[in-house]
Amino acid sequence: MEFLFAPFEVSFVLRALIAGVLAAVLCGCIGTWVVLRGLAFFGDAMSHGMLPGVAIAALLGGHLMVGAAASALVMAAGITWVSRESKLSQDVGIGLLFVGMLAVGVVIVSHSQSFAVDLTGFLFGDVLGVRSQDLIVLAGAACLGVLACTLLHRPFLALAFDERKAATLGMRPGWTHIAMLMLTALAVVASFQVVGTLLVFGLLIGPPATACLLFDRVGVIMAAASVIGASACFVGLLVSWYAQTSAGATIALLTVLIFFVVLVARRVRSALRYFYHNENRYQ
């Protein structure tokens, strides 16, 4: 059993595990609402739309997370404004801002060849490079995310399942939707340094989607998603340590693999139950 814990005796691997668990809790809680509300495309667009802010922050010598947060706020506000002003579906606003923000980021990066290494870290993450101060920020974001999901549980639940009913109950679905977008931005911004913007989508969508296959109650789904995400971080770091693979990519890949394993297992179980039921029926 020593091989299971030997890698975590190294300080930077242990910090990576702590960061991964914190990100899993944050993304598990907020990702549950992303999945139930059907905001997966928004989460993906948000993870790419942070590139301009991160690029500008890197070029100016600022903190990358501050730049990412600024881009995320612009993206969320822009999507909301486009949807209201154009009267088109939210997907249109998300698509336009997604392409626009990503293009701006690429234009900025293309003028700085020295930014290539940082761009790789931005896209694919550097979980093994997490610092102690990053853990403090991530822990604060996780606490804020869990608290917000707890306080806004009823409005989020009403909005996720029946927006008109939420309006009838006086829960202000418009403001609730904005709050949900802000929390999604929080999860993406706080977690991108752990697994990168292209891979944060795995933690945000994979574990909650898997938990939705297994459970019905929202609170249980959040808890299960957090556990699944944390387990993927633990196993992913182990695999990357011994197989010499990218830690962030390995973690994200595991979140997707777990979903498909559970999905196939459910299908096999249903087929076996159907076969067993028919066999007993004709005996």
Confidence at residue 123, expressed as pLDDT on a 0 to 100 scale: 64
Domain-wise residue ranges, the chain:
1-111+119-280
Non-local (6+) Cβ contacts of 44 within 8 A are: 98, 201
Confidence at residue 118, expressed as pLDDT on a 0 to 100 scale: 56
Distance CA 171, CA 56 (A): 38
Distance CA 263, CA 117 (A): 37
254 in Cβ contact with 236 (< 8 Å):
yes
Would you state the structure tokens that stand for residue 48, as one six-digit string? 């790419």
Instruction: Choose the weakest-confidence range: 150-164, 238-252, 268-282.
Output: 268-282
pLDDT interval class at 91 (50, 70, 90): confident
pLDDT tens readout for residues 95-143: 888 888 888 887 887 776 555 545 666 666 678 788 888 888 889 999 9
The CATH number for 1-111+119-280, chosen from 3.65.10.10, 1.20.120.550, 1.10.3470.10, 1.20.1050.140, is: 1.10.3470.10
